[in-house]
Structure 1
Amino acid sequence: MQFNPNASLDPSQMGGGGGGRRGGTIAVGGGASIVVLILAVIFGFNPAELLAASDPYHAETRAGSQPGGLAQSDTRFAGCRTGADIAQNPDCRWVAYTNSIQAYWGQVLSGYRPAKTVVFSGAVSTGCGQASSDLGPFYCPADETVYFDDSFFELMLPRMGAKGGLAAEAYVVAHEYGHHIQNLTGMMAKVQSAGNQSGPDSPQVRLELQADCYAGTWIAYAANDPNGIIKEVNRSDLYTALDAAQAVGDDHIQKTQTGRIRPESWTHGSSEQRRYWLNRGFSTGDPNQCTTFAADALTRR
């Protein structure tokens, strides 16, 4: 993956803290600490309560649990004005991912409302509650913000067996923005209203696989937009993203951490399912083909 040095970057899309609404809404896409990963999987629900829940697969949410702070721009990104700045300040790549993903959705989704990306270290106050760096990337619908600690990509993702790299980072960020799309379209609220369910064919798994598919459609867009912020995406980048998707499959994490695979507890899909839907998004380039809620063969993917 290469960046266009002449492309303009907009650092105002990066936030420096939690969102402005009060919490209690389920957060989607959060990971867990290495300890909790024995029981839970990456990209789970409600980071504010995940570690405290006796059963991380059925974490409850409580209205008004934590107030969010005002989302301010992160000053570390203030100098990220063009793609060329990434060579001098690698942190600018997060601006590039965010700008490119939002440019894509602004074109394909009528009424798209931009979200913020917050890169934090240690802990952060969000509209969904307090989150620590032990948690992986997540999206909070209460403040419409994507959160992640960049150490996740350096420490936790490799421990899950992923090769990592720029394309893996971009896939994870795009997956979280897929949850933002689901929030805007109402699909997220529909799934959450059905309660916490698990299993390879569950609504929760379908939600996560759709977000994977949405990430794939953005990768396809970036690969075919030579004048965009992402200058080049090649087949190797796709394989890197697919490798990351495989590493965060429920079955892979369960087998790695416990030696057992328990399909009835899946909340995000198997490695095969995640690879399939990410690749489906890439191969079609069409969000309308991310039909995970209509598919009747998820258990075989």
Structure 2
Amino acid sequence: MMDFPDGLSALSDRYDVVLCDVWGVIHNGVRSYPDACEALTQWGRTQGPVVLISNSPRPSYDVVAQLDGLSVPRSAWQGFVTSGDATRALLEPHRGTKVWKIGPERDGPLWAGFDLTLAGPEDADFILCSGLYEDETEVPEDYRDRLTVAAGRGLPFICANPDRVVQRGDRLIFCAGALADLYESLGGKVEMAGKPYGAIYDLAMAKAAELLGRPVDRARVLCIGDGVITDVKGAHDQKLACLFVAKGIHGDMAIGPDGRLEPDAVHALLDAEAVGATHAIADLVW
């Protein structure tokens, strides 16, 4: 049965490790959430390690500056793994080949060092997608014609960010997962390594074990996230406990007009995707 704690401190006797989503839980791409950052800081001080687990398409070392710039304190986390970290393992078989790279230039560290030659859908050997080129103005349908060509050639599509949308300020922005969905609808084959898929959880658990200095007891790991088909499903599939943060990307469906979490709406939201969460909260607080 899902319960509804007042804050993270109410769960402090049940878990040793937190695997926490980033975008939508501790910041919205424009500003950080001080209460969430303080909750994670308190956990790290009193309970155990916090490992951030993000579907960012860039390697974790390259995302730290973004967190710093959004005033996310270093005290809020002890470890960090990203979809970009997991995706680099998927790039190994494609080393030295031609790639149709879809995504902004800022994601360059994702493919650095693989000796890839940039190409288009007509002559590439595979597709690497980290997002839309211009995510402020484009939508997935803008890519249909080019993706149709690639799917007809049978190009494998590596998706570096399984998120479909992400909250940026008060807007929802399309991510690489939305293009992956379109490519699959056209008959293309997609590979993903971020949430909800297992590779990123393997990295996160290894980092947690390193920080603990001992093997991780999976029964005492708490995943925190706001995405039903990424964070909640990932925890569900990994058989890990999950704290669903309802005011993230699903806030319009799970939060009432008074700003409070509506338990029936949360249950309906999770049931629609055939997943369950152990706990639910409106915002992450201590």
Note whether the superposition's TM-score is higher than 0.5: no
TM-score, with structure 1 as normaliser? 0.30
- Of structures 1 and 2, the larger Rg is shown by 2
Q: Which structure has more helix as a fraction of its residues?
A: 1
Q: Which structure has more strand as a fraction of its residues?
A: 2
